[in-house]
Amino acid sequence: MADSHAKMTQATPQEVIISVLAGLFAPLLAIFLIVQLVLGIQEEHKPDTTSEAAQKATLKRIKPFAQLAALDANAPRVEKAGQEVYDAVCTSCHSSGALGAPRFDSKGDWAGRIGQGYDTLVKHAIEGIRQMPARGGDSDLSDIEVARAVAYMANSGGAKFKEPEVAKPAAAAPSAEDNKENKENKDGKK
C-alpha cells in the first residue's frame, strides 16, 4: 500500500518565483518574435512612392475605365501604313501563328499563300478566311490599309509585292459661294 502520510518537499519562495518567470518567458519570447516578424513583413511591403516606376504604377491603377475622344467627323482620315496596321491589329495572331495564321518573317508559312497572288490574299484578308475575321477583326480599317498590311506581311515572308500608294486627295469641289460668284460673273459679262 501506498504511504498516505508521505511527506512532500516544500518549495521556497525563491524557487516559486523562478518557476513562474521561466514559465512566462517562453510564451513572451514567442509573442515578441511573432510581432517582429509581422513588422518586418509590413516594412518590406510598404510602397516606394518616391520612385518614378511606383508613381506610374499608381497612375495606371487609378486611371479611368474608359476615355472619351472627341473626333471631328469632317476631318480627313489618315491612312495607316502596312507596318502600322500590322503592329496595331495583325501582330496578335501573325507573330505567334495562332489559329494557323502564317507567322511574320516565316518564308515557309507564306510560300503557298504568295503563290495565290496578291489580289487573292487581299480579298481573303478583307472578307476573312478560315479562323481569320474580316479585316483582321478591325472593321475600321479601309481596303487600302488591309492591302498594305498584306503586302508588308507577305514581303516579310519572301514576296515582292508593292504596297498601294497613298491616294492623293481630289481637287476640292467648288463651294456654293464659288458657284454664286461664277454665276454673277457670267451674268455681268452678258
Q: Is 121 within 8 Å of 127 (Cβ atoms)? A: no
Residues 141-171: pLDDT tens digits? 788 888 888 888 888 777 777 777 766 555 4
CA distances from 172 to 162, 178, 179, 182 (A): 29, 11, 13, 16
What single letter denotes the amino acid at residue 140? D
96 φ, ψ to 5°? -105, -15
Q: What percent of the chain has pLDDT over 70?
A: 82
36 φ, ψ to 5°? -65, -40
47, HSE (Cβ side, Cα atoms, 13 Å): 9
CA distances from 106 to 42, 62, 96, 112 (A): 50, 41, 11, 12
Q: Reduce the DSSP state of residue 11 to 3 states and report it.
A: coil
pLDDT-based confidence at 190, cuts 50/70/90?
Answer: very low
- Which are the contacts of 143, defined by CB distance < 8 A and separation ≥ 6? 122, 126
- Which are the contacts of 72, defined by CB distance < 8 A and separation ≥ 6? none
Q: Can you list the domains of the chain with their CATH numbers?
A: 82-156 (1.10.760.10)
Question: Which of 1-5, 37-41, 83-87, 93-97 bottoms out in mean pLDDT, i.e. has the lowest?
Answer: 1-5
Environment class of 106 (CB within 10 Å of its CB; exposed 0-12, middle 13-18, buried 19+):
middle
